[in-house]
């Protein structure tokens, strides 16, 4: 497990450093105090710090000879994780076409279903309300435009 932790920490540090550097390519907006680069930078720094902790812990613990657990696509949790990843990828691909206001409620609904919620009325209300709150927060408080897709012609 020690070798797997070291390799995972190094990969995570590399990815977080690349993500941090990539944020410098984001478009800068005038009169916007919190730009689109702030949150990804914060996440990249946190990921890097967690990977450093994992690396130091793994290097200090030289007696750990246990093997890393096998990951099987037949495991129900791995299947749920892969389905969740598929939801994220499909949502990202549809975001510019259908827009935030259409894509996000469906994505949230599917995630709630994936996590075991079955109260459809609650799921619909929650996904629509969360989408509206997020949209209003970004649009009116932070001043950040969300992709509108084909709703762009409505001039929100």
pTM score of the predicted model = 0.64
pLDDT tens track for 17-56: 999 999 999 888 787 778 888 999 999 999 999 999 999 9
DSSP state string for 111-129: HHHHTT---HHHHHHHHHH
Distances (CA, A) of 131 to 47, 90, 137: 26, 17, 10
Instruction: Report the alpha-carbon distance of residue 21 to residue 142 in Å, rounded.
Output: 23
Instruction: Report the alpha-carbon distance of residue 62 to residue 45 in Å, rounded.
Output: 27
What pLDDT was estimated at residue 155? 67
* Closest listed residue to residue 100, CA positions, set 153, 51, 150, 34: 150
């Amino acid at each position: 497990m020690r070798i797997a932790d070291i390799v995972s920490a190094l990969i995570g540090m590399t990815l977080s450093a690349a993500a941090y550097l990539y944020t410098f390519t984001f478009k800068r907006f005038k009169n916007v105090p919190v730009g689109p680069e702030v949150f990804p930078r914060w996440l990249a720094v946190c990921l890097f710090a967690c990977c450093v902790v994992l690396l130091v812990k793994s290097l200090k613990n030289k007696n750990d000879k246990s093997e890393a657990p096998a990951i099987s696509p037949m495991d129900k949790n791995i299947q749920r994780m892969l389905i969740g990843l598929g939801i994220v990828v499909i949502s990202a691909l549809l975001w510019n076409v259908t827009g935030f206001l259409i894509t996000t409620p469906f994505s949230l609904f599917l995630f709630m279903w994936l996590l075991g919620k079955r109260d459809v009325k609650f799921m619909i209300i929650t996904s629509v309300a969360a989408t509206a709150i997020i949209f209003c927060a970004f649009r009116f408080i932070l001043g950040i435009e969300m992709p509108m897709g084909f709703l762009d012609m409505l001039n929100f």
